[in-house]
Structure 1
Amino acid sequence: MHYFVDIDPVAFSIGPVAVHWYGIMYLIAFAAFWFLGERRRRLGRLPVGPTAFSDLAFYGMIGVIVGGRVGYMLFYDTVSLIAHPLSLFRIWEGGMSFHGGLLGVLVAMWLWARRNGLHFFDVIDFVAPLVPIGLGMGRLGNFIGGELWGRHADVSWGMIFPRAIETAGHSIEQLKAMAAAGQLDHEARHPSQLYQMALEGFVLFCVLYAVSMKPRRRYLVSGLFALLYGLFRFAVEFVREPDQQLGYLAWGWLTMGQVLSLPLVVLGLVLILMSRRAPILSPRIVEDPPKDAR
């Protein structure tokens, strides 16, 4: 029997306030970014004090949210954006793009690096290992919400996502009963959200964090991030259902996610090649001066 994905998107409620799992995933992502980033800062992986690092975290948060939303509307729902420009601000309706979020973070990091007099790629090399945890939590949030499911799959671990089914007026309880009776086995799909959580979250984090904690050349960590994410995303797109409003772009299999991932693969290879002639970065610990010395 295939697992029927029906998880309450509300984790808990406090009076009239409902706390959603997806919001909790974002909080975990930002908390992990802060905790691991501060730990690496104290080890000298970014030569700034805690105040500047706090600004970096704030810049990154704004970059993710603004870039993710703008990127989704531009890349995946341009028709709605043109017809209803104010839909850009309807974030409660969902719709975030990783590639848009990445561009947003790059712009934010460029502004922060310029303000603090640091090399742009030294900042990106520092931030890159902190990103996969957020990616993994985001994909787990997608799974809990029963969205961004995979394509139909004849595999034992295939799962049934009720939002992907033409319900024909059946209630969720009726669909559960039908799934238990094996009547919905043909609706089983790849849990592509979990594939992405494993690859873009766990594997990518382990590789980048291990490399970044050793003496390494500038551009290397950024290059590995772009290359591995691009490859992982391109591969998973073969079992992920394309966005309904776009479908396949060409040849009956090419998706927008794959098109947007190819430049990352190329960029990653270029940065890795550039790193071969780049300087090896040495840790340098910096702390804020005492308040009475400012």
Structure 2
Amino acid sequence: MLIHPQINPVALQLGPLAIHWYGLTYLAAFGLFMLLGYRRLRHEPFASLKGPGAWGRQDVEDILFMGVMGVVLGGRIGYCLFYKPLYYAAHPLEIFAVWQGGMSFHGGMLGVIVAMLWFARSRSRPLLQVADFVAPCVPTGLAAGRIGNFINGELWGRVSSPDLPWGMVFRGAGDLPRHPSQIYQFLMEGLLLFVLLWLYARKPRQPGQVAAAFLIGYGVFRFTAEFFREPDAHLGILSLGMSMGQWLCVPMIVGGLGLWLWAQKFSNNMIK
């Protein structure tokens, strides 16, 4: 049985300024997106686009800036709406208290979709082309965020068998060993999803299919990880024995499958 190392969440203290590890993982996520975005410019169909529709390094930087705004605003608003709507309705000013924690991936994803819509409209580019460009660059950022969760000792897993070699006791969660679900999510929706999606995106695909693969892949991996993650205390297990995280993954998976099949059908109709 392992003990969570209880790492100081503050990485560096400079007088009144505290730099948190979690904030650094966000910076790492954005930096990884930029590096992968530059590499993505060499992939088809983006490498062959010429004229006004051509992609360049400035596009990567601009969509990153818009995406950061989408992640932060969408993640916070999504958390307030999905997980504590009644509380924040009664305490609306606390919506802005981001230092207290509380971010939702699904809300952040909706924020990124809005950012991609904005980018696509401002650059006169197809939305699905923008989504296909962005999707493979996202999972490494998700992996970085899960490392931040583990450092903070938050979002721990459900109680595990005492015989589980990597079962871990988290301070604040009692004395029983638990699944280190942050690491599970780091491995599945972070590293594994990145490898699968990056390889999938390297071959020619119909517009929208790379983005669809992201929706399906993340939805399936997150749905699976939720079986090992402790549900939010104020929500618990919801209907059909599913957590809020699992319920939010259902429309992702269904939407991803629908988008992939639509793209395939559209391609077949074009061939006919």
TM-score using structure 2 length? 0.90
List 4+ stretches of structure 1 deviating above 6 A: none
Partner amino acid for 1:257?
G
Structure 1 position 236 matched with structure 2 position 245: no
Structure 1 position 207 matched with structure 2 position 216: no
Partner amino acid for 2:235?
L
Equivalent position to 2:251, from 263, 287, 291: 263
Pairwise CA distance, 1:87: 1.2
CA contact (8 A) 1:249 1:255 kept: yes
> How far apart, CA to CA, are the structure 2 residues paired with 1:215 and 1:89?
43
Partner amino acid for 1:24?
L
Structure 1 equivalent of residue 36 of structure 2 = 36
Equivalent position to 2:212, from 223, 232, 237: 223
Structure 2 equivalent of residue 17 of structure 1 = 17
Partner amino acid for 1:268?
G
CA contact (8 A) 1:133 1:201 kept: yes
Matched residue pairs, number? 259
TM-score using structure 1 length? 0.84
SS for the counterpart of 1:163 is coil
- Cα pair distance change 1:45/1:35, threshold 3 Å: farther
> How far apart, CA to CA, are the structure 1 residues paired with 2:72 and 2:223?
23
Structure 2 equivalent of residue 95 of structure 1 = 102
Pairwise CA distance, 1:278: 4.5
Q: Kindly report which structure 2 residues correspond to 1:31-70, keeping only aligned pairs within 5 A, or say none.
A: 31-43=31-43, 45-46=45-46, 47-70=54-77
Q: Kindly report which structure 2 residues correspond to 1:68-217, keeping only aligned pairs within 5 A, or say none.
A: 68-154=75-161, 155-165=164-174, 184=175, 187-217=176-206
SS for the counterpart of 1:271 is helix
Partner amino acid for 1:163?
G
Percent identity between matched residues is 49
Structure 2 equivalent of residue 247 of structure 1 = 236
Query: Which runs of 5 or more structure 2 residues have no equivalent in the other structure?
Result: 47-53
Query: Which runs of 5 or more structure 1 residues have no equivalent in the other structure?
Result: 166-183, 281-294
Choose between structure 1 and 2 for higher RCO, CA contacts under 8 A separated by at least 6 residues: 1
- Cα pair distance change 1:225/1:250, threshold 3 Å: same
Partner amino acid for 2:137?
L
> How far apart, CA to CA, are the structure 2 residues paired with 1:131 and 1:271?
19
CA contact (8 A) 1:9 1:145 kept: yes
SS for the counterpart of 2:11 is strand
> How far apart, CA to CA, are the structure 2 residues paired with 1:15 and 1:243?
35
Post-superposition Cα deviations, 1:122-142, rounded to whole Å, max 9, x if no partner, equal 100110011101111111100
Partner amino acid for 1:10?
V
Post-superposition Cα deviations, 1:8-50, rounded to whole Å, max 9, x if no partner, equal 1122333443221111100110000011102212446543233
> How far apart, CA to CA, are the structure 2 residues paired with 1:27 and 1:4?
24
RMSD: 1.6
SS for the counterpart of 2:239 is coil
> How far apart, CA to CA, are the structure 1 residues paired with 2:228 and 2:78?
23
Pairwise CA distance, 1:213: 1.8
- Cα pair distance change 1:132/1:49, threshold 3 Å: same
- Cα pair distance change 1:42/1:85, threshold 3 Å: same
Pairwise CA distance, 1:275: 2.5
